[in-house]
Structures are given as structure tokens and as C-alpha cells.
Structure 1
Amino acid sequence: MLIDSPLPQLDRLFDYAIPDALADEIVPGIRVRVPLRSAGRMLDAYVVETDEADAGDRPLSEIDAVSSPIRVLTPKLYALARRAADRAAGSATDILRLAIPKRMVRAEKTWLARPVLEAPQVGAEHAAWAASMLAGDEGLTHCIDAAGRGAFDAPPRTIRLENGSTVGAWAVLLAAAAVRTLAAGRSTILVVPDHRDQSQLEAALDARAPADAVIRVDARQSSPARYSAYLRMLAPAPCIVLGNRSAVYAPVHDPALLAVWDDGDPLLAEPLSPGVHARDAALLRQELDGCALIFAGHTRTTDVERLVGIGWVHDVSAAKRVSPRVVLSATKEGESRGARVPSAAFAAAREALRAGPVLVQVARPGYAPVLVCADCRAPARCAHCGGPLHATRRGAVPTCAWCGRAATGWTCPRCTSERLRMASSGTERTADELGRAFPGVRIIVADGEHPVATVDDRPALVVATRGAEPIAESGYRAVVLLDGDRMLLAEDLRIGESCLRWWSNAAALAAPGAPVHLVGVTGPVARALATWTQPAYARAELADRAPLRMPPTVRVAALEGSLGAVNLALASVRDAVPALDDLAVLGPTTTESTSRALLRFDYGLGASVAEHLRAALIADALRARKNVKGRPPPVRNTLRVRVDVPDLDL
């Protein structure tokens, strides 16, 4: 029995007796209610396995009731959850809480009353369509047929579908692979960062696969809809699952392909404990299920490139290399060095607007996201909470981005100046400036507050933040990437990698032959974009990080809590794993409320380090329990552990 509890000391299997009244109902995988004598209450649990008790065993507590007769926990899902939790020094129940939706009684009754589900059939014309779409990518089909692990560089272009939708070529290729797999009677799981990518896959699969075989899973669904989708996955019939990061755990029938799109997107990093990235969970699942695993994207993350370098993942190249026409734009002699749009990019946009839409990518939304003192250039801060001030429009009173208060009568605390200066331009200010530069042209703003999915082929300037770019029906006639130098200034180990991903994804929306202007950026990132050699950039990044022992060349665990708890955990791990070197520990650093330390270790030591970090968590939880006398202990663990943090951030 696996008890559903956040307490780390309960993350193990417990033995319970099956009462005679429930002997016919208790089977592995169902939900039950069981007593926990140490807590004096009833808890939810999953039946993992059943066996005959030995005559000499001590008396066991009995299962109280069956919560649901459906076997929601399959043996392979439990094995995957256990391995993922052990790798991340976490609890299997935390993984299962992400994978198995909350029970919905009405949806369950509807499912139980359904007719027998038959295997979906793929028509011959749809199977032929899938084969034709994959005809130029024999490396991809070979990797799928051989159940291999591949890193696939998707072609950077869009495709107009027969139903009138325009999607990325990557979506058509993954949809064709899924249809091909479904025609063979096996299942596919397609994991993408957000709903925009899911919608592209749905459009590519529209009318190509039976509707009842395509299952969408994401957080936007209602609880009954998500539970119904999960029950469909459990059925012994193949299907195609489209979902976000939790879809990697989907318990589908006979999986043949697991594909992860754009694994560098932070949305695929799980924020909830134990924080297993979808990429790592996919690697574990491929080992357990023996299915094919494809990491697809317009760029290559250093994490995947490390796996390619050691031979664990194979490079899957397209038969014909296609790349956008990237131009590195800089100010010319005689132009103002502060010009935001150089003359070359300006001329390209003006020429392209005669034929269709032009995409302009900027760093931030809003009008003026950053304000500074006009005299001393100190960042403008709110006098009440210290938050950054920003302007919503030209001439408006600045407001605080944190508390929302208007900064009427603001005075600089450093030089007592009362004048403010706009230090950056967001989507709205950029749209305002471009509207004056291109009078009579449509201006479309696309960001978090103004979501736009698609734009038509009429001339328009589309000003979008990174990741929010709409898809043009026939591709953009030009793409202008602004604020690149500002993006690269972010204090982040992976900022170059992230910028290359943002720019590559935007460049992939351009029409064939359309110019892509990267403004004001030089160096390795710009060269990688211009030559479309993202894997080479990832290899260079790995080579630079290896001597410094930075992720992903090593694994990094973050420990947070009281200073005593952090030091005790570090000491116990170092004693248990003597192979850790003298530079393995960074910190701890202490603030007013907590202490934090980083532990660096090689991949070969991962299992041992994770095991002893987990033991330190349990020991800390038991110490917290003992400190509370005369009443039930609260759920308060002073130590927190996160394995595989992406950056060395103390």
C-alpha cells in the first residue's frame, strides 16, 4: 500500500490486511481508505500489490473502504513514479499527484457505463498522408521504428494545412509520426510546453486521426474532463495524447513514441516537488517502456547535447537542411548609435509590408517597463514597497509594478531629482513608435495581456514579446528581432541558450526567403543564429562550463532550511559519499529567514547522493515531529531539497 501523504517518512510501502468483506474488490491499482495508527486518522492510499500473509506475521490493520474500483495506478506508472522520485530525492506520491487526476464520481460513473471501447482505425488515405509527410525524414522514422532516442532539429518553416490552419512544420511531422504509430496499433505521447503548441498539434491531427483516439491533457481542462481523459488513457486501446509536462506520465496502452517539443522552455520544468523536469521523466520512461524518444526543437539545449555527446541520444538530422535568411543588423556610419531600428532593418520592414505582415519581437510587454531617474539614472522605486515603477502610457503618472500605487510627486532618493526617464520600451511603446514611423499600417500587439494566435496575410506590423508571436497564415514577410542586447544582459547562466531559442522560434515563423534581422547583437549567439548551427553553440557552451563544473556538465542539488538542518544534511551526505570532492559544496549562505547551499556531484554519483539526501529529509522530518509534544505534529519540514537545479544561484 502506498499512502498518499506529503510526509517524507511515509514514502514507502505499508502492509494492510484485506477484510473478508472486501476480498473480491481489492486489486492492485485501486484507491482505498486505510487507517494510520500513528496519526489516528484515515488516509487515502493506492493498492500496489497483493499477496498471501504468512502465519507468523504480526497482526495488520485492515483496509477500511474502497474509494474507487478503477485501477488508476498501473504497475508501469508506479515504477516510473518510484524511479523519478528516487532520482530527485522526492516522494513517489508527489509524482502520482501530478500524474493521476483527482477522482470525479460522475465522470467515473459515466465511464463505467460506456460501451466496450474498440481500437481506433486509421484510414488508408490518412496512413498514406503520414508516410508522405515523413518521406524526407528517414532518420526520424528509423529512430521511431528502432525504439531509439533521438534529438531532431525541426525544419524552421510553417505549413498551410488543407483545413485552412497554419502550423509549424514540426507539428505536422510529429502529427504524421503519431498517425503512423496509431495505424500500427500503438500509442503516442506528445509533450509540449503550452496550449498554443497543443493547438498546432490538434490542427495538424484534425481529420487525420479518429477523434476518440486524440486525447488532450492540460491544466485548462475542467476536473471532470481531465479525469475522463485519464480513464480513456487506461483503456486497452491505442491513442494519441497531447499534453503539457504532466502528460509524460500518461498511462497509455502499448506506447511506441514519446516526443518532447522544445525541452528548453521553462514551462516543461515542474515547479512542484520534487521538481522532475519533463525531459528527465521522459528519459526514465523510455528505459522502462522501451519506446522511442524524440527531443525535437528549433534549437538544441545543452542538456540534450550532453546526452548526444556521450552517445545516449543520437542526432537525427533531416534529409535536406533548411535555414532562414538571417541578417545581423547594426547601425551604419552616420546613424545614431542609440537608434533602436537600424536603417537596414527599417528598409526591410518597409519593403516587406508591401506583401504582407512583419513580425517585430521585443523583450517586454507594456509601455515603459523600466523607469530611471533622468539625472542620475538610478532605477525608480516605489516609496511604499520598493517595487519598480513603470509607465502605462506616455505622460501618465508612473505606477508601482508590485503594489499598484501611483507614484505622484516622486523624488529620487539619491539626487532628489523629480524627473523620470523611460529606460526601456515594451510592446505598447514600440507599437506607438512604429505607428508614427509607418503611418496607415495596421499595428497588432501580441503579449500576455493581448494574446493573439494568428494573423492574416494583409500588411501589418505585429509587435510581440518572445514566445507570444502569432502565426501568420503564409508566414511573415520579414522578422525584426529587437532588444537582443538587453535580453543577453539578464543574470542567468543559460541566457545565451534561451535567447537563441527565442530568436530561432521567431525566425521559424518567416516565409521562405524572408529576411530575419537580428538587431545590435554580435558574438557566438548571433553567429549560431545566422549560420543556423544551434547544436554547435550548445557544444561550445558545454565545453565552457565543464572546467567550471556548472550544470548540465554536473548535477546540482539545492538545500534550503535552517542553518543547522542544512549543515547536518551536507555533513551526512559527505560522510556517506566520500567520492565528493572538496569543491562539491557551495555555501551555505544565510539570510534572515533561511540558509541555502548547493551540492555539485557527477552523474555517476547521482543515485547515491539522491538516496542520502532523501535520508536527510526524513531524518529532519522526524526531528521536527519529536519537538512537538502533547499534540499531533504539524506538517512543517525545516529542510527542503531540490535536485537538478538549472543554475548555480545562491
Structure 2
Amino acid sequence: MSRQDDSADGPEQLALIRESVRKAKAPKAKPRTWRGAALAKELPVARVLVDKGVLHLDRYFEYAVPQELDAEAQPGVRVRVRFGAGSKNVRDGRREGGGLIDGFLVERVAEAEYQGPLAALAQVVSPEPVLDAELLGLTRAVADRYAGSLADVVQLAVPPRHARAEARTFPPAAEPPAAPEPGSWARYERGAELIGALASGGAPRAVWTALPGPEWAGEIALAVRAALASGRGALVVVPTVRLAARVDAALEAELGPGRHALLTADAGQQKRYAEWLAVRRGSVRAVVGTRAAMFAPVRDLGLVVVWDDGDAHHSDDHAPFPHVREVLELRAARERCAFLLGSLSCTVEAAQLVRSGWAGAVAAPRDEVRRAAPRVRTVGDQDLARDEAARAARLPSVAWDVAREALRSGPVLIQVPRRGYVPRLACQTCRAPARCRRCAGPLEAREASGALACGWCGREEGAWQCAECGGVRLRAQVVGARRTAEELGRAFPAVPVRTSGREQVLDTVSTAPALVVSTPGAEPVAEGGYAAALLLDGWAMLGRPDLRAGEEALRRWITASSLVRSQEAGGTVVIVAEPTLRPVQALVRWDPTGHALRELADRAELAFPPVSRMAAVSGTPRAVADFLRAVELPGDAEVLGPVPVPDTAPGGARRPGAPPPGEHWQRALVRVPPGSGTALAHALKQAQAARMARTRGGVEPVRVRVDPPDIG
């Protein structure tokens, strides 16, 4: 090549040479590492919800994603991370240190908000994405509503892992069933319309007052089938395992085997998790279960059903104490699906849903109610005072005659309001409660020896004397199921007597004549229905110092009476309670909805829930006072109290959430009008988080509960 040619190409060659030199001198890009280990190339930062249910740690923590975990570390999976006490960064999980703790990977991002070094994910426990975006949003909404931590709600929503269950393969979902005919829903006004709307893909909201009898389980199954026929899923939540078994059998009869899942806590960890996975993976589209099933990850949810929302089992015993009805209302609004609240009775909250227009009423006409319900007779205090027969087996003449006549054609149900032998004792003269002289606890008669002993400290009382009047004779304020069974056995010596209660709950009884003594909620189902039912000691349930005493008593009476044959078939119910009281009259007329509406009107006058939102703050007097001074309540909030917190519930049992032994607590109620509930929950959560962050400094804890079930 000549010099001339070289000079001609010189500028271009020089530019290439300079670029080559610049690239050679520039530092080579190194892969992102953490302590020498390579990180994921894309989205190397994971945000993790750690399994720490404390409010001041209710946020996501950032961790680096090692390259070897890149494929498995996907949103929703379970992980293990370093998390421990120490410096601020260590406590935040942003530096190496602390012990391993479980958590859920919520999302992956390209850049961390924290500017310092991040600790790395220690382990992906399972590649199964159990906390998807929909479930995460629901649990966050529940945590915000109840002023609780997200980790606590997720723990309620996602069952414990079982590796063998995850290894299973599940068949694909079956084809949708054919749309059903209205069937027994035709007995209700707007019942056929409800089934048609579900089958066509609609999202109706209904409060359903079911007719007495066993048909309610089959009617729920029919509604589920209608939702499945539209290509959507359905979720049914009932209060107890016994009721779940009834709906389970009804669903299998309506849909066929293998087309729904049963989620109950007593199923065992492996079976429960396997059923839950079948729902999450879309193998089944219908679910029935107890309380924890309210979070079941049903695909394309089209219908949520809650049965008997007044049952206390629907309120979770673990923080933040969500109620099934409220959670399913949230799901219906978030997922735009149908909502069905059904019960034999009617709660004030259900009446409020109808009154506000959020849901419509589905009920039977009065002539249909009279045809299905049994005859109800009452025995008041004046009748008992004049009735010598009431001294034998505590049965007034009316109840005695009804039971004797009914035993000719079938079993007779006797409902007693307490468990045990003689739960409560009082002075025969002045009826003052019998108390222990040492600790003031309730005295009880021990079943084996009959000796008096304290229900709190266990100390026996040899020579009891009433502190009020000096009397030495005792009477049973409420006689339990076993004692009642003994008395009835003596009164009807030729008739078998069976009991159903805490120690042994019967599911069913035959059509043979028998006396079945049961506590509320444990009543077995009789084949063909009971010939009669006797509801004893009605005053005991009505006399509870609780805002819901009347509503709860009516619910329990109607539940038991619904197991009795119709009036046309000779079924009769006798209730021993004052006939003029509102709940008793509602039972006689079989009008639970009217009772709920009148209770709602009374609550509105007093600004009590559900017309208002309320929260309870409990603790030592100093702790409650400090909390109320620190919390920034909404401007329209009203503080009621504080007042002393009783250690025991009526009957001597220790009250759930009672203060520790030896401590005297107080409780204040905070009330806000409609529309301020979210602001109240946020304020309480912020104040509680601030206190918990200072717990190490000796700050006394307080308990905060939004929508407390007991405000009496």
C-alpha cells in the first residue's frame, strides 16, 4: 500500500484506533454481587413480608436476590430471611445478622429504596406462589379495617405448608354444570330471581331469611350450582364443622363428587393444605368451610355465602379478630361478585345491610312461614309461681303435657342454656351469687362428691353462709344439661334420655321416642324432625348484661325450634320465659326480621353499632389513659368510659380477652359515626404501633379491638 493511499484513509483509521484504545482503558462492567456472590441480573431486589405480627414492623423489608434463587424467588412464594435485633439496619433486615425467619416474597424491583447494603434471601422454602396479588390485596384491606398487622392476617389466610401435598398433581376443573331450576327457592319472594341472576353471571347481594327445616343446606348448594353454571367459582362459610358437613353432603348431592373442596381446621395439616392447593390451582371451583375458608383463593369468584352470621364462631379469636361477614363483604366489593347472607334468624347487621340498600331481602311470605314453622307456646313467671308441677324436673304443666304427648310420636328436644352439672349457685333466700370467701370467685358443686368448691382458685367451701342475708341454703340459678337429664330421667322413667353438649355432641338422633337434652348450638338433627321442643330457663339468656342478649337468645331459640316438625305435622315448642318480652314475641310470631329491625331502630337512637363504628381499648388504668392521650382520634370520635373489665363471663367462665390474673383492667369504647371507621382504625393502629415500638422502655401494653362483639 502506498503512502498516498495510507494518507487518504488516515482520518478514519485514526478514529478507529482511538475508540479501541478508549474501550481498552475503560473498566470492564462487573456483575452485581453480594459478598462475592452474583445477584439476579433482572429485578435483583425482593420486598418481603416477614412473619412478625407486630404493628411497628408492619411493612415490607428489602433483600437482595442471589442468582441461584432467581428462578424460584417469584412473587407470592414462601422464603426465609435474616431478621434480628441489634442496630437499626440489622433490625430492618438490611444487613447480615439475626436469626432466620419465615416470610413471603411480595414483589421484585430493579432498585432498592434503601441506599445501604442489603442482606440476601437465605432460602426459597417452596416455589408455590401461595400469596398472589388478589389475596395480598384482600389481607391488606382486612388488616387496615381492623387496625391490625398484615402478617397476622396472612397467617390466618394461608394455611401451614405441607411438602407432600405440594408434590401432588391435581386434575383440571370440570366443565360447568347446567343451570339449575329454582327448586325450593321458589318458596321465597325473589328466590327464583336470585338463582336466575347467579346462573346468568350477575352479582346480586341478598340477605336471606331461611324457612325452618333442613332444606337450607340444599338451597345453598343450589345457589352454588347456579354460580358454577355461569363459569365462575363459589365460596360458602359456615360457623361449625357440623354445619360444614351438612353443606358438604348437599354439595356432593347437587354437583357430584370431586367438584368442591371442604376446608376445616380439624381436617389435618396435609389434607387441609391439599384441599387449599386444589382451590388455588383451579382444580375445584367451589369451597365450603369454616372461618379460615373466608380467605380461600377461589378462581373467578362469582358468589360468597355466609351462613348464620350471628354465631360467635364467625369472629376470629386471633388478632386482628376479623369477622367472616365483614371479610366476605370486602371480597364481594373487591371482586364484584354476588353476596348471600343466610340464616334462620336475622342479626342487626344483616338488617342494616338491607336498610342501607347494600343488599336486598329474600324471605318467604307469611303464609309459607306459618306452614313451615311449629306452634310456639309460652310459660311466664306468673305461670310458674302458680304451677306445682314445675317443681318436678323444672317442667311446668304445659311443658309436661306437651312432652308426654309428643313422646308418643317421636323424640323431644330440651334446650338448657348452660353446660355442666350446676354451673351457678345462689342463696336460696335472697338469690345473691354464692362467692368464695378467699377470692370472690363463683362457687360450684363438684360433680363427683357434690362438695362446694371455687371455680377460680379451687378451694373447697365447707360451711358456706350468705354474706348478704346470712342464709345457709343454696339453689341452682341455672341447672346444666347433665342435671336436667337426671331430673327428666326420674320424671319419665320409661323414656331414654340422651345429652348433647361440650363433652359429647350428637349429630343425629333417630325417630324413636326419647328425651334429648342439649345446650345451645349442640342440638342434633332428628330424622323427620322433633315432635316437640322445650326451651328452659329463657330468662338466663335474656338476662345477660350484653347489648346482643335479646338477639342472641332469639337466634338460639329459632335454631332449636327449626328442628321441630311443622305445626301441620303436630310440632310444638314450649318456651319458659316472660311472654311480653320482645324476643319471646318474635319467636311466637316467627318474625326474626321484624325483631332485628326494631333492635336496629333502638341502636340508631343510642348511636350503637352497626349504626356507628366502635373500638375497645383495654389495659391497666394508666395504660388506657396514656393511650387515649396519645392517639389522634378523628374529630367526630366520642370516648365512652373507661370502666372496669370483668374477669369472667356470666356463669363463672373466664372471659376471652380478660386481664391476666391479679391485674385490674379498664376498658374504654371509642365511637365514630358512619364514614369515619377507616380514620378511626388508622389512628388506633398508628398509636398502637408507636407504643409497641417503645415497649422495651417499660410502656404498659394495651389491647385494641375494632368492632368488639361484646360491648355490654
Q: Please say whether Structure 1 and Structure 2 have the same fold, judged by a TM-score greater than 0.5.
A: yes
Q: Are 1:12 and 2:59 matched, yes or no?
A: yes
2:503 alignment partner, SS class: coil
Q: Are 1:172 and 2:218 matched, yes or no?
A: yes
Equivalent AA in structure 1 for residue 252 of structure 2: D
Equivalent AA in structure 2 for residue 612 of structure 1: A
Q: Which residue of 1 aligns with 2:16?
A: none
Structure 1 residue 305 displacement after superposition: 1.0
Q: Which residue of 2 aligns with 1:132?
A: 183
Q: Which residue of 2 aligns with 1:642?
A: 705
Equivalent pair of 1:589/1:597 in contact (CA under 8 Å): no
Larger Rg: 2
Q: Which residue of 2 aligns with 1:160?
A: none
Given the alignment, which residue of 204, 209, 212 partners 1:148? 204
Equivalent pair of 1:559/1:639 in contact (CA under 8 Å): yes
Equivalent AA in structure 1 for residue 141 of structure 2: R
| Counterparts of 2:268 and 2:329, CA distance in 1 | 29
Q: Which residue of 2 aligns with 1:324?
A: 374
TM-score by structure 1 length? 0.89
Equivalent pair of 1:441/1:459 in contact (CA under 8 Å): yes
| Counterparts of 1:390 and 1:226, CA distance in 2 | 40
Equivalent pair of 1:133/1:176 in contact (CA under 8 Å): no
Given the alignment, which residue of 662, 672, 681 partners 1:610? 681
Given the alignment, which residue of 287, 293, 318 partners 1:241? 287
Please give the residue correspondences for 1:479-628 in structure 2 after superposition, counting only pairs within 5 Å: 479-513=533-567, 514-522=571-579, 523-563=581-621, 565-574=623-632, 577-580=634-637, 583-587=638-642, 592-625=663-696, 627=697
Q: Are 1:290 and 2:336 matched, yes or no?
A: yes
Structure 1 residue 215 displacement after superposition: 1.7
2:265 alignment partner, SS class: coil
Please give the residue correspondences for 1:171-320 in structure 2 after superposition, counting only pairs within 5 Å: 171-318=217-364, 320=368
* Structural RMSD (CA): 2.7
Structure 1 residue 154 displacement after superposition: 0.8
| Counterparts of 1:417 and 1:564, CA distance in 2 | 40
Equivalent pair of 1:551/1:647 in contact (CA under 8 Å): no
| Counterparts of 2:452 and 2:635, CA distance in 1 | 56
Structure 1 residue 329 displacement after superposition: 3.3
Q: Which residue of 1 aligns with 2:146?
A: 88
Q: Which residue of 2 aligns with 1:3?
A: 50
Equivalent pair of 1:445/1:464 in contact (CA under 8 Å): yes
Equivalent AA in structure 2 for residue 11 of structure 1: D
Equivalent pair of 1:33/1:65 in contact (CA under 8 Å): yes
Equivalent AA in structure 2 for residue 50 of structure 1: R
| Counterparts of 2:436 and 2:286, CA distance in 1 | 50
Q: Are 1:462 and 2:516 matched, yes or no?
A: yes
Equivalent pair of 1:261/1:297 in contact (CA under 8 Å): yes
Structure 1 residue 567 displacement after superposition: 3.4
| Counterparts of 2:407 and 2:642, CA distance in 1 | 55
Equivalent AA in structure 1 for residue 183 of structure 2: S
Equivalent pair of 1:472/1:509 in contact (CA under 8 Å): yes
Equivalent pair of 2:332/2:339 in contact (CA under 8 Å): yes
Distance 1:169 1:392, change over 3 A: farther
Distance 1:333 1:44, change over 3 A: closer
Given the alignment, which residue of 387, 395, 418 partners 1:335? 387
Distance 1:420 1:608, change over 3 A: closer
Q: Alpha-carbon deviations, 1:626-645, whole Å to 9, x = none?
A: x28xxxxxxx8723211111
| Counterparts of 2:451 and 2:700, CA distance in 1 | 45
Q: Alpha-carbon deviations, 1:10-50, whole Å to 9, x = none?
A: 21123333222222222110011223343342322211122
Distance 1:445 1:573, change over 3 A: same
Q: Alpha-carbon deviations, 1:325-346, whole Å to 9, x = none?
A: 2222342895349654332222
Q: Are 1:381 and 2:435 matched, yes or no?
A: yes
Equivalent AA in structure 2 for residue 521 of structure 1: E
2:221 alignment partner, SS class: helix
Q: Alpha-carbon deviations, 1:385-415, whole Å to 9, x = none?
A: 5432333569833344445555445455556
Equivalent AA in structure 2 for residue 151 of structure 1: V
Structure 1 residue 208 displacement after superposition: 3.3
Structure 1 residue 191 displacement after superposition: 0.6
Equivalent AA in structure 2 for residue 645 of structure 1: P
Given the alignment, which residue of 422, 439, 463 partners 1:368? 422
Q: Alpha-carbon deviations, 1:57-103, whole Å to 9, x = none?
A: 65433322211110010111110100010011111111111111122
Distance 1:62 1:393, change over 3 A: closer
1:220 alignment partner, SS class: helix
| Counterparts of 1:414 and 1:241, CA distance in 2 | 56
Equivalent pair of 2:577/2:584 in contact (CA under 8 Å): no
Q: Which residue of 1 aligns with 2:489?
A: 435
Q: Alpha-carbon deviations, 1:455-494, whole Å to 9, x = none?
A: 1001111111111111000001111111112221111110
1:363 alignment partner, SS class: coil
| Counterparts of 1:368 and 1:572, CA distance in 2 | 46
Equivalent pair of 1:457/1:474 in contact (CA under 8 Å): yes
The count of aligned residue pairs is: 621
Equivalent pair of 1:139/1:317 in contact (CA under 8 Å): no
Equivalent pair of 1:565/1:620 in contact (CA under 8 Å): no
| Counterparts of 1:594 and 1:418, CA distance in 2 | 33
Q: Which residue of 2 aligns with 1:47?
A: 105
| Counterparts of 2:258 and 2:560, CA distance in 1 | 33
Distance 1:393 1:71, change over 3 A: closer
| Counterparts of 2:385 and 2:63, CA distance in 1 | 81
Structure 1 residue 384 displacement after superposition: 5.5
Q: Which residue of 2 aligns with 1:356?
A: 410
Q: Are 1:477 and 2:534 matched, yes or no?
A: no
Distance 1:454 1:179, change over 3 A: same
| Counterparts of 1:329 and 1:563, CA distance in 2 | 45
| Counterparts of 1:192 and 1:608, CA distance in 2 | 31
Distance 1:458 1:403, change over 3 A: farther
Equivalent AA in structure 2 for residue 549 of structure 1: A
Equivalent pair of 1:443/1:462 in contact (CA under 8 Å): yes
Q: Which residue of 1 aligns with 2:75?
A: 28
Equivalent pair of 2:207/2:350 in contact (CA under 8 Å): yes
Structure 1: gaps of 5 or more residues? 158-167, 629-635
Residue identity over aligned pairs, in percent, reads 39
1:2 alignment partner, SS class: strand
| Counterparts of 1:478 and 1:437, CA distance in 2 | 17
Equivalent pair of 2:373/2:565 in contact (CA under 8 Å): no
Structure 2: gaps of 5 or more residues? 1-47, 84-88, 92-96, 646-658
Distance 1:647 1:389, change over 3 A: closer
Equivalent pair of 2:207/2:359 in contact (CA under 8 Å): yes
Equivalent pair of 1:186/1:238 in contact (CA under 8 Å): no
Equivalent pair of 2:76/2:128 in contact (CA under 8 Å): yes
Distance 1:536 1:374, change over 3 A: closer
Equivalent pair of 1:139/1:316 in contact (CA under 8 Å): no
| Counterparts of 1:210 and 1:86, CA distance in 2 | 39
Equivalent pair of 1:185/1:238 in contact (CA under 8 Å): no
Structure 1 residue 577 displacement after superposition: 2.1
- Bigger drift between 410-419 and 22-31 goes to 410-419
Structure 1 residue 258 displacement after superposition: 0.8
Equivalent pair of 2:389/2:395 in contact (CA under 8 Å): no
1:140 alignment partner, SS class: helix
